[in-house]
Amino acid sequence: MLDLLNLIGGEYREAQNGTWLDNIDPATGQIFARIPRSGKDDVAAAYTAAESAFPLWSRTSIEKRAACLRNLAHIVSQNAEALAQAESQDNGKPLSLARAVDIPRAEKNLAFFAGAIEQFPSEAHIPAGPTHINYTHRKPIGVVGCISPWNLPLYLFTWKIAPALAAGNCVIAKPSEITPVTAWMLSQWIEEAGFPPGVFNVLHGLGPEVGQAIVEHPGIKAISFTGGTSTGAHIARTTASMFKKLSLELGGKNPAIIFSDCDFDAALATTVRSSFANQGQICLCSSRILIEDSIYDRFRDALIEKVKRMIPGDPLDEQTKMGAVVSAAHRDKIIQHIELAKSEGGQLLCGGGKASAPNNRCEDGFFVAPTVFENLGANCQLNQQEVFGPVITLQRFYSEDEAIQLANATEYGLAATIWTTDLKKAHRTAARVESGIAWVNCWLVRDLRTPFGGVKASGVGREGGWEALRFFTEPQNVCIEL
C-alpha cells in the first residue's frame, strides 16, 4: 500500500486531522494507495509557507525560474515510464495512451512555459509628440490555487502549475482525489528541480473539503480550475465577493460536423478517436456526431463497424486502445445516462452497458462498452448533458444552417470539429459555431501558444501561451511624464 503525502513548505506531511482516503485502481477495483484527507488547517499551513516564499520567488530572475521548470521537465522525461505506469493504474487509461500523450505532454507543458516566460512581452504606449509614456508592468499575483480533474491527471496539473510558477507566483495545487499519484510523484522532485521550499505546495483530499478551503482562503488571490460546470459555478459563487481572479475550464458537449464533401476515411477514423479516446473522458471529445443526410447511412454503418471492434481491454496490455472508466461511481453515472437515452426512445446501435472484464485481473474493474445512439432529438438529455464517457449520439442534418443550429443547441461551447473539403464552408462554419476551439479536418492538435478554453457553460477565460501568463500576472499601468 502506497501512502501519499502533502507537500507543504518543502516537507512531506500527513493531513493534520490524521485521516486518509482510499485510492482505487479502476481496472481491478482494488485499493492500492491512500491519500491524506486534508482540510482547512492544511490549507492554512500551505498558505503560510507559500506566502513566506513569495517575496524571494517573485524577485527570482526569469532565467532561474525557467531553469527550475526545465529541470522538472527533464526529471519527468527521465521518469516517463514510471509516470505512465502510475497514470494508467490510477486512471484506468491504456498504458499506451499515457506513454504517447499524457506524460510527454506534461513534460512539454513544463518546458513550454519555461520558454514562454523568457519571451513574454509587456506593452508600452507612446503617443505622438509624447509628453508621457505608459508601460504595462506585469507582476506576479502572489499565492494562487490550481485545482485539476482526473481525466488527464498530470497533463492538466502541469498545464496549470507551469505558467503560475513561471510568472513568479507561489502555488497551492490540488490534484483530483481520484487520480493523485502522478502529482505526488512530481511533488517529490520539486527540491531536486531547484524550487525553494514553499514555492510549490501540493494538497491532497476531497474537493468539497480541501478544494473548498483553497477557494475560500482570503489570501489566495487567483484560482485556476478545470473540472465540471457545476463545480465551476459553485467556485464562481464562492469567490464573487472576494474578487478573486478566476480561470474556469469546464464541461463540454462537443459537436463533430460531418459534411458530405468531407474526406470520408479521414473523418471516420478521427471521429472514432475523437469520440472514444481515453474512454470518452476528454473534455474535448466529440459526443454529438452531426452527419449530412446524403452520407448519413454510409457514415453510420462504417462507424458502427469500427466501434463494435473496440473492445475494452486491460489498460496494462500494450495492445489495449480502450481501458477502464475512472471509478465505479462514474461507470454507474454513464450507465444511467444510457438507460435514460433508451427510455427517451434512442435507437441503440452498439454498446449500451457494462463491458465484460478483459481478464481475471480485471474482473472487478469498471468497464463500459463504447455506445452509439441515433434517433434522439436535439433536446433529449443525451444531447444536452455531458456524459464524459464512451457514449455518443448521431444526428442527421440537411443544410449548413441546420448543422450550425444543431451544433449550437446546447449550453456548452468548448470544442467543435468540422469535416469538409470546401475551404469557404470550413471558414464560415468555424466562425458561426459557438465554441472556444474549432478543429477543421483534425482533432486534438494542440499548439501550446494558442488560446485554450470554452464559451457559454464551458468556462470563463483562456489558458495557453500568453493567455495563461496574463492570467497569472496582474497588469499595472505605469505612466511617466517625459
Q: How far is the CB of 137 from ligand NAD (least distance, A)?
A: 30
The DSSP call for residue 278 is G
By the rule CB under 6 A, 149 interacts with ligand NAD: yes
Q: Which of 168, 352, 365, 454 binds ligand NAD (CB under 6 A)?
A: 454
Among residues 157, 164, 239, the alpha carbon closest in space to that of 202 is found at 157
CB atoms within 10 A of CB 347: 13
Tell me how far apart the alpha carbons of residues 146 and 22 are, in angstroms, rounded to a whole number: 22
Q: How far is the CB of 249 from ligand NAD (least distance, A)?
A: 3
Q: Which of 42, 87, 90, 177 binds ligand NAD (CB under 6 A)?
A: 177
Among residues 190, 208, 186, 212, the alpha carbon closest in space to that of 199 is found at 190
Cell numbers found for residue 441: 479536418
Q: Which stretch binds ligand NAD (CB under 6 A): 5-13, 142-150, 272-280, 398-406?
A: 142-150
Q: Please report which residue ranges of 34-102 form alpha helices under DSSP H.
A: 40-59, 62-78, 80-91, 95-97
Of 71 and 229, the one with the shorter C-beta distance to ligand NAD is 229
Q: Which of 251, 315, 323, 370 binds ligand NAD (CB under 6 A)?
A: 251
Q: Which of 163, 198, 252, 255 binds ligand NAD (CB under 6 A)?
A: 252
Q: How far is the CB of 454 from ligand NAD (least distance, A)?
A: 6
Strands 170-174 and 200-202, how do they pair?
parallel
Alpha carbon distances (Å) from 322 to 204, 276, 300: 28, 8, 21
By the rule CB under 6 A, 457 interacts with ligand NAD: no
Tell me how far apart the alpha carbons of residues 202 and 9 are, in angstroms, rounded to a whole number: 10
Of 358 and 459, the one with the shorter C-beta distance to ligand NAD is 459
By the rule CB under 6 A, 87 interacts with ligand NAD: no
By the rule CB under 6 A, 388 interacts with ligand NAD: yes
By the rule CB under 6 A, 109 interacts with ligand NAD: no
Q: Which of 6, 151, 275, 417 binds ligand NAD (CB under 6 A)?
A: 151
Residues in contact with 78: Cβ distance below 8 Å, sequence separation at least 6, in sequence order: none
Q: Which of 23, 176, 239, 274 binds ligand NAD (CB under 6 A)?
A: 176
Rounded to whole angstroms, the maximal C-alpha distance in the chain is 79
DSSP percent split of the chain into helix, strand, coil, nearest 5: 40, 25, 35
Tell me how far apart the alpha carbons of residues 91 and 98 are, in angstroms, rounded to a whole number: 10
443: Cα separation from own chain's centroid: 15
Contact 386, 251 (CB under 8 A): yes
Contact letters for ligand NAD, residues 305-324 (x by CB under 6 A): --------------------
| Conformational region of residue 84, where left means phi above 0, alpha means psi within -120 to 50, and beta covers everything else | alpha
Q: Which stretch binds ligand NAD (CB under 6 A): 44-52, 207-215, 260-268, 271-279?
A: 207-215
Q: Which stretch binds ligand NAD (CB under 6 A): 49-57, 222-230, 268-276, 421-429?
A: 222-230
Of 57 and 388, the one with the shorter C-beta distance to ligand NAD is 388
By the rule CB under 6 A, 226 interacts with ligand NAD: yes
Q: Is 51 exposed, middle or buried (0-12, 13-18, 19+ CB in 10 A)?
A: middle
By the rule CB under 6 A, 353 interacts with ligand NAD: no
By the rule CB under 6 A, 39 interacts with ligand NAD: no
Tell me how far apart the alpha carbons of residues 193 and 128 are, in angstroms, rounded to a whole number: 47
Q: Which of 212, 410, 429, 473 binds ligand NAD (CB under 6 A)?
A: 212
The answer to whether residue 249 is catalytic is yes
Q: Which stretch binds ligand NAD (CB under 6 A): 52-60, 70-78, 144-152, 423-431?
A: 144-152
By the rule CB under 6 A, 249 interacts with ligand NAD: yes
Strands 415-419 and 412-413, how do they pair?
unpaired
CB atoms within 10 A of CB 360: 8
Q: Which stretch binds ligand NAD (CB under 6 A): 16-24, 95-103, 109-117, 210-218?
A: 210-218
412: Cα separation from own chain's centroid: 15
Tell me the sheet residues that pair with 286: 254
Q: Which of 250, 355, 438, 468 binds ligand NAD (CB under 6 A)?
A: 250
Residues recognised as catalytic: 249, 283
Binding residues for ligand NAD (CB under 6 A): 147-151, 156, 174, 176-177, 207-208, 211-212, 215, 226-228, 231, 234-235, 249-252, 283, 386, 388, 414, 454, 459
